[in-house]
Amino acid sequence: MKILWYKSLKIHIAAALLLQLILISILVGTTIYQLDLRKHDYAILNLTGQLRVISQVLVKQSSNYKQSAPRDYVTYERDLDLYNKDLRSLIHDYDEIIKAFKERNLPAELTGQEETIYCSWDRKSRSQLDITADYWNIFRQGLVDALGSNVNEPKLEAAAEYILQHENKLLESSTLLARAFQYMMESKLNAITHLNRASIVAFVIINLVILYGFYHRFIKPLNTTLYGFRNVANGNMAYQIPVGVEDEIGYLRTAFNHLTSRLAALFRLSDRMQQATNLDEALKIIYQEFGRSFSIEWIGLFMMNSTSDAYILERQYLDGSTNFNENENFMAEGSLLESVTENQNLVRIDDLARNDQQDKLLQQLKQNDLLSVIFLPLHMIGKEDSVLVMATSKPHAYDNELTELLENIGNQLGHAMNKTIGMEGLVISAISGLATLAESRDPETGDHLERMSLYSAILAEELGHNVKYKNRITPTYIRSVFQFAPMHDIGKVGVEDRILLKPGKLDDEERRLMQEHPVIGASVLHRCEAQMNMLGLSVFSVGIEIASGHHEKYDGSGYPNKLAGEAIPLSARIVAVADVFDALTSKRPYKEAWSINDAMAFMREQSGKHFDPDVIQALENSMEKILQVYQTHKHV
């Protein structure tokens, strides 16, 4: 569509903007000119302030000197170098300022400006300046007379008495001059304010005229286009705007019609992202939605950890396997991740095989045969240093269309991520609170919850290497076990203190009541889960498994339901091993801590009886990591 130049909206808008620019330039130029003329007012106000300060210092020093006047020659000599020198310096400074005011010529050495300032006073300021200058001349002459004619032996005490006798008049004279100049400055600023207000009113009127001129040429045709936008905004993604206007609006309508199909896809993405309750779901949704049109095999979210000056792979989603591990560190300094977050610009690499950058992340992507990569900075509240990375094994898999799309929806993705992170934080806070509640009821826990949750996560991760559990144990599952392991004894909140805190052995009835705590704990978490289910979420399912099943035994002799083998939830089997191992190796009021060897001997002996043999084997395989936790957090 060819647009005649005189019909072009760009020409019309440019002309209007040019007119506005001229008006603004006039307004700003006039204001700057007026303010520049007033710059000497601030210097004047500062100098009058100095006069007040000099007057106050004269009075203060004279008062101090009067109170401790010298009584011998030595102290008199001292004061010649102190009080006398300061007195003459202050008189000189006052003289210089008054002289500059009278001459209406403020030298640079007085004002600190780069050049001399030439002043003009209003009538009130001139009058008060004459009064202040006349009084200062009288005061100064009196002070000189009080000091005497002998310069080497001035009468300092007489001078101090003279200053104190005239202090009120001296202070008043300086204060009145400062006020006069301040009123002058304020009146000039008020004049500038009135001028600006008048200019703004004129500016508004001219703009109203411009807007009226655009009404028939721009607004009416635009309304037809806006009608089409409203239809799409109300969900009619198939709506097509008629193209008939021979200007930029016609081009806009054509482009709008082209984008309706893409909008449908974006709304679907937005709707699904709003339903995500954690980062895993959010990354999965992004993976699936963009995977409809573009090749994506791996997606990862990196966040800056300021304490280690490194980016952490916070979460990943992939089709297949890689050597990337969640919580893996990538040093920030000099990295591509750092460059992306600093510049807040999307970066696309079309073929890593031809890229020689010595960047750890790029090298690791290349090792996993991921050749096409996009780095998208996310705008997340409180997490500005966050980058979403998408990659595929196909070189040149991403084109300008995808790049433009991602740049346009970067904010949307960031806001959605904020929601899921907030939801995860809420869940973690709830879990921590419930775990702390249970811990507060049991005086024997100490650091038990922290150690056994770390042990549980290590065991779950190790079990993930077992082919039998490979498809069941995901990073999300490991996190859930780690988060909910501390809640295994939440049911103890329902056990009476006389039983829970009893120092001796429990009788049969007390033991029966104590053994109800898994049922109580599961009931508490079922209620929490029911509340989440009402919101369409499922959060506490793993916690329920752990709370209800951590006292079940592999051979079926446990409680409360005497489940056996794999009928016991895997999470509960993991936590049971972590719980008992920590109990054995920790000091309690009724026992000393067992050695690691003795504890492991017992755990092996109970394999297939109390414990799942696979979990015991995972304990054996991960003993190095277990011992690191033990040494760091042990309580023996």
Q: How far is CA 148 from CA 20, 129, 137, 154, 480, in A?
A: 70, 28, 17, 6, 92
Residue 308 CB burial class (10 angstroms; 0-12, 13-18, ≥19):
exposed
pLDDT beneath 70, residues of the chain: 1-7, 33-40, 69-74, 78, 217, 237-238, 244-248, 250-251, 253, 255, 258-259, 261-267, 274-277, 306, 380-384, 419, 421-446, 535-537, 635-636
Residue 545's pLDDT is 92
Look up residue 490 and give its two tokens: 């939440």
Residue 626's pLDDT is 92
Coil, strand or helix: which one is 331? strand
pTM beyond 0.95: the answer is: no
DSSP element (H, E) containing 66: helix 39-67
Selection from 445, 475, 106 nearest residue 317 by Cα: 475
Look up residue 245 and give its two tokens: 């206007």
Coil, strand or helix: which one is 42? helix
Look up residue 614 and give its two tokens: 């696979």
Condensed to tens digits (0 to 9), the pLDDT of residues 12-42 reads: 778 878 887 887 888 777 777 666 666 667 7
Residue 399 CB burial class (10 angstroms; 0-12, 13-18, ≥19):
exposed
Q: Report long-range pairs for 423-427 (Cβ below 8 Å, ≥24 apart).
A: 423/277, 423/278, 423/537, 424/277, 424/278, 424/279, 427/278, 427/483, 427/539
Residue 434's pLDDT is 64
The answer to whether the beta carbons of residues 580 and 452 sit under 8 Å apart is no
| Dihedral angle computed from the Cα positions of residues 328, 479, 322 and 358, in that order, rounded to the nearest 10 degrees | -10
Look up residue 264 and give its two tokens: 């449908």
Tell the residue number behind the tokens 């826990």, with chain if given.
Answer: 445
Tell the residue number behind the tokens 């009584």, with chain if given.
Answer: 71
CA–CA distance, 489 with 1 (Å, rounded to integer): 73
DSSP lists the bridge partners of residue 435 as none
CA–CA distance, 470 with 460 (Å, rounded to integer): 11
Handedness of CA 409, 415, 417, 423 (dihedral sign): negative
The answer to whether the beta carbons of residues 427 and 413 sit under 8 Å apart is no
Look up residue 359 and give its two tokens: 């960047």
The answer to whether the beta carbons of residues 246 and 7 sit under 8 Å apart is yes
DSSP 85-112: HHHHHHHHHHHHHHHHHHHTEE-HHHH-
Q: Please report how the helices 167-214 and 156-165 are oriented relative to each other, as an axis angle in degrees rounded to 10.
A: 50
Q: How far is CA 342 from CA 24, 346, 376, 379, 385, in A?
A: 34, 11, 12, 12, 8
Residue 319 CB burial class (10 angstroms; 0-12, 13-18, ≥19):
exposed
Position 603, amino acid: M
CA–CA distance, 28 with 15 (Å, rounded to integer): 20
Strands 298-305, 105-106: pairing kind: unpaired
Residue 441's pLDDT is 59
CA–CA distance, 143 with 26 (Å, rounded to integer): 54
CA–CA distance, 173 with 178 (Å, rounded to integer): 9
Q: How far is CA 610 from CA 479, 560, 603, 604, 615, in A?
A: 25, 14, 9, 10, 11
DSSP element (H, E) containing 118: strand 117-118
Selection from 48, 61, 112 nearest residue 90 by Cα: 61
